[in-house]
Chains A and B, each alone.
Chain A
Amino acid sequence: MTISIPPVNEGDSIKLQPKGFLRYFSFSLDHKVIGLQYLVCGFLFYLIGGVLAGAIRIELTSPISDFMARDVYNQVLTLHGTIMIFLWIVPVVNGAFGNYLIPFYVGARDMAFPRLNAVAFWMIPPAGLLLISSYFINGAAESGWTAYPPLSITTPAAGQLIWIFSVLLLGGSSIFGGINFIATILKLRRPGLRLMNLPMYCWAMLGTSILVVLSTPVLAGTLVLLSFDIVAHTGFFNPALGGNVVVYQHLFWFYSHPAVYIMVLPAFGLVSEILPVHCRKPLFGYTTMVYSIMAIVVLGFVVWAHHMFTSGTPPWMRLFFTIATSFIAVPTGIKFFNWVATLWGGRISLNSAVLFSCGFIINFVLGGITGVALAQVPFDIHVHDTYFVVAHFHYIVYGGSVFVIFSSIYHWYPKFTGKLLNENLGRIHFLLTFIGFNLCFAPQHWLGLNGMPRRVAEYDPQFTLVNQISSAGALLMAISTLPFLWNVFYSAFKGTIAGDNPWQALTPEWLTSSPPPIENWEGSAPLVTKPYGYGLDPKAIKNESTENIEEEI
C-alpha cells in the first residue's frame, strides 16, 4: 500500500491563512472552508434566482404581458434557469457538500489538489457576477438557458456572449472540481479503507464526477462554436450560412441531460447519509445502491435526444432514446425502494432533516413518474415544451435536489458550526416549503396538458385562475425562506451547543470535534469500515475494523 495520509501541515500555506471569520473571504486551501464558501455563495445566488422566479410568477398572474417588457421577461427566465442550475444546485450538491464531506469520508486531511480546489471555487463568484451584470450592460441573454440557435445568434450579441463566457467559466470550475473528487476518492483513501466501505455519498460523487469530466467539455466546445457564430459570423449552427440547428441541440443535450444527474445523483448520496442516522438503521441494500448509481451514470450518457422528440429526429432514433430513458427508472426505482426499506423498522426521529428527506422522496417519485411518461415519444409529442415539462423538472431539481440541500443543512449545520438549528422553525420551514412547492408546481401539469406552452409572458385567459394558484404557491415558497434564514443566523449566535456528535452518527465526519480542526482530526484518521453499522454491537464494529487493518498491513 503506497497510499498515505497527506503529511500534516508541511508548508506554511495553511499557517498563513487568515483565521476566524475572515478565512471565508480568503483563498483558503482548507476543504471545509471551501465547502462552506460554495454553500453560502450558492445560497446567495439561490436568493437572486428566487427573486427572478418571483418576477416570472408575478408576470403570470395575469394572462397579458403587463409586469415587465417582453424582452426583459425572456432575460429573466434565461437568468433564472442559468443561475439556479449553474450557480446554485450544481455548485452546492457537488462543490459544497463534496468538499466538506469527501475528505472526511475517505480519511484524508484535505482534497487531492487543494489549490485547484480553491481556484475552482473562486471562478464561481466572478462568473456569477458577470452573468448578472450583463443585464445592466446591454440586456442579458434572452434565448433561454438552452440558447438554441438561430435565436441565440439573432438576439442582442453582448448579453449572449457574456452568458456563454460565464457558463464556460462555471463549466471549467465544475471540471476542476470533478477531477479533484475522482482523485481524492480513488487515491487518498486511508489504508485499510476499501471502496465498498465508503459512505454512499462518495459513490454518488464518483459517478457524478465521471459525468462532469466526460460531458462538460462537450458543452464547452459547443458554446465556443456558438460564440464563433455570433462574433465571427461562422456558420456552424446558422442555417443562413449552411449550418444546422439540430446539431447544436444534440451537442447541447449531450451535456445537459447528464447535468440533471449531476444535480440529482449527489442528492441521492446525501439522502443515503442522512436517513440511516436518523432512522438508526443501516442503509438498506448498500451493494445494489452502488451498482444503481453506476448504472444511472452509464445510461445517463445515452438518453440525451429525448429532449428533441419534436425537433426533427428519425423514428428509429426516437425509439432508441425512449427505451434508454425508460430504463433509467429501474436503477432509480431500486434506490427509492431501498430508502423506504431503510425507513421500515427504524426508530425514526421526525426532525427537519428527515422531513426534508422524505419530502424529497415524495416529490421525486412524482417527478420520476412524469419523467417515464415524458420518455414515451407519443406522450411527449403533446406536452413537449409546455408547462407539463416545467412542472416535471421542477419536481426533479427543486422537489428533489433543493429539498435535499435543505435536509443536508439541517443535518450538517451542527458539524459546520457546533450549534443546533431550532427544530420548530425547521418544521415550519418544511411545511411552508412543501405546501408552497406542491401548490406552485402540481397545477402546472394540468396547464401543460391543456395548452399552455413554456417560456411565455402571455397566455390563454382560461388559464388565469390556475396560474394564480401557482403564483400563490410561489409566494409561500418565498415566505418559507424567512424562518430558515432567521434560524441559520439566530442559531449561529444563540443556538444550543450541539456537542461533537449530536446525532450519534457513525460516519467519519462526526468522529471529530464540531467544528472540526484544520486538518480534520487531532490524531490519526479513524478507520470506519461500517459507516452504517446502526443496531450492531459497537464492540463487533470495532473488532472488525482492527482486523481489517491488520489484514491490510
Chain B
Amino acid sequence: MPKSSAPLIIGLIIALVVGGILIGENINLLPVDASSNATVYDELFKVLFSIGTILFLGIVGLVIYSLIRFRRKPGQIGDGLAIEDNLPLEIFWTAVPTIVILFVGLYSYDIYDRMGGMQSLQHANHNSQQMAANQRIWGGIGSGSISANNMEGKVGALPVEVTAMQFAFLFHYPKGDILTGELHVPVGEPVSLRMESKDVIHAFWVPEFRIKQDVIPGQPTILNFTPTKPGRYPIICAELCGPYHGGMRSTVVVEESNDYQTWFEKNSKDITTQT
C-alpha cells in the first residue's frame, strides 16, 4: 500500500468510529424507560449499538469497495495477486475482536452487577421457612436490589405473588390479601415478584422495564424491579404456552404513591393494614 494513502485510511477509520458512535447514541430503537433497570439497559444498548454499527459498516464497506475496485473489467485476463497469508495481519484481526469482546464482556458484567444480577437472591416478606421449603429459588435480573435498598434505609420491597396459567396472570398481594388481574405498583418503590406457574412455562415480560423472567411450574422464580415512571405498561407472556399465547397479556399500572394507596385501601380485604 502506498504511503500517500495512509492519511486517507486513518481519516476513514476516524469517520467510521465517530459516525458509529453518533448513530448509536442518537438513534433510539427502544420504548420508554420506565424502571431503574431500563436506564442502565439503555446505556448498554447504546454502547453495543455503536460498536455494532462501526463493525458492520466497516466490514460491509470493505466488501462493497473490494467488489467494485477489484471487479474483473472487460478484457482483463489472468489471476489476482497470489497472496496466501500475512501473519501480522492475522494477529491484528485476531487481537481486535478479542479486545472488543473483552471490553463488551467486562462492560456487560458491570451492567449486570448494577442491575443486581450478581447479588444473592432474596425475596422480601417471605420468611426463611418458606425459602427453605423451596430450596432452590431462581431469579431474574434485579434479584438483589432489595438488600441494596434496605441498606440505604428505604422501606422494604412490595411483595407480590404472581401465578401464571393458560392464559392469564394473577397477582396476589399478601399485605391486604388482594387478588387482581392487573398489577398495581407505586412509582419509585422496589417491587418483588415471586412467580410460579400452574401449568406450562410462561414468561413475565414488561418491555418498558427491560426485564423478563420465565414463570416455571414446580419451580418458583423471583423478579425484582423499581418502576420510575407512572403509566400503564403491557405485561406480555414471552414463552409459547398454547393456542392463546399471543393473547396472554396484562397491564402493570405504575401510580403515584397516594393513587396507589387509594387503590390499595379500596381493594384490601385485610382491615388491619388499612390506615
Chain A residues packing against B (C-beta within 8 Å)? 65, 69-71, 73-74, 142-144, 148, 150-151, 154-155, 239-240, 243-246, 279-288, 310-315, 318-319, 322-323, 326-327, 329-330, 333-334, 336-338, 340-341, 343-350, 354, 358, 361-362, 365-366, 369-370, 372-373, 376-379, 381-382, 384-386, 445-446, 449-451, 453-460, 532-536
Contact = CB atoms under 8 A, between A and B. Distances in A.
Given A340-B63, A373-B48, A310 B214 contact: yes
A369 B236 contact: no
A402 to B, nearest CB: 19
Which 8 pairs, one residue from A and one from B, show the smallest C-beta to C-beta distance?
A239-B218, A535-B82, A456-B246, A451-B207, A70-B243, A346-B80, A312-B138, A376-B108
B238 A384 contact: yes
B80 A280 contact: yes
B52 A369 contact: yes
Contact of B240 (A143, A285, A373): A143
Contacts of B200: 148, 150-151, 154
Interface string B56-86: 1001101100110011100010111111111
B267 interface: no
A358 B216 contact: no
A327 B82 CA distance: 31
B246 A65 contact: yes
Nearest to A451: B207
Given A280-B78, A281-B82, A245 B241 contact: no
A350 B247 CA distance: 48
A233 to B, nearest CB: 16
Contacts of B84: 282-286, 532
24 contacts: A65-B247, A70-B243, A148-B240, A155-B242, A281-B79, A281-B81, A286-B85, A330-B94, A330-B97, A330-B98, A333-B93, A340-B63, A343-B67, A345-B70, A369-B56, A372-B101, A376-B112, A377-B141, A384-B238, A449-B30, A449-B31, A451-B31, A453-B236, A535-B81
Contacts of A344: 62, 66, 70
Given A315-B117, A333-B93, A455-B245, A348 B29 contact: no
B260 interface: no
A343 B70 contact: yes
Given A151-B200, A381-B140, A347 B80 contact: yes
A362 B60 contact: yes
A287 B60 contact: no
B211 interface: yes
Given A348-B72, A535-B80, A385 B239 contact: yes
A65 B238 CA distance: 17
Contacts of B234: 451, 460
B72 A377 contact: no
B82 A534 contact: yes
Contact of B31 (A281, A445, A450): A450
A314 B117 CA distance: 9
A71 B80 contact: no
Nearest to A456: B246
Interface in B12-50: 29-31, 40-41, 44-45, 48
B6 interface: no
B183 interface: no
Contacts of A459: 246
A377 B112 contact: yes
A536 B212 contact: no
Contacts of A340: 59, 62-63, 66
Nearest to A385: B238
Interface string B245-261: 11100000000000000
B199 interface: yes
B109 interface: yes
A70 B112 contact: no
A142 B245 CA distance: 12
B32 to A, nearest CB: 10
B228 to A, nearest CB: 16
Interface in B136-174: 138, 140-141
B203 A385 contact: yes
Given A148-B200, A330-B98, A450-B207, 5 more contacts: A283-B84, A310-B213, A311-B216, A449-B30, A451-B208
Most buried by B among A340, A354, A459: A340
A458 to B, nearest CB: 4
Contact of B218 (A245, A347, A379, A450): A245
B48 A379 contact: yes
A478 B179 CA distance: 49
A378 B60 CA distance: 28
Contact of A382 (B211, B214, B247): B211
B41 A310 contact: no
Nearest to A279: B80
A427 B126 CA distance: 65
Contacts of B90: 285, 288, 334, 338
Nearest to A536: B82
B221 interface: yes
Most buried by A among B203, B238, B241, B244: B238
B21 to A, nearest CB: 15
A315 B221 contact: no
Nearest to B207: A451
A238 B141 CA distance: 26
Contacts of A327: 101
Contacts of B213: 310
Contact of A310 (B86, B203, B218): B203
B178 interface: no
Given A312-B214, A312-B219, A449-B30, A341 B236 contact: no
A143 B48 CA distance: 33
A150 B202 CA distance: 11
Contact of B216 (A143, A246, A345, A377): A246
B138 A365 contact: no
A196 B81 CA distance: 22
B240 A458 contact: no
Contacts of B104: 326, 372, 376
B203 A284 contact: no
A252 B249 CA distance: 28
A143 B240 CA distance: 7
B111 interface: yes
B44 A379 contact: yes
Contacts of B63: 340, 343, 358, 361-362
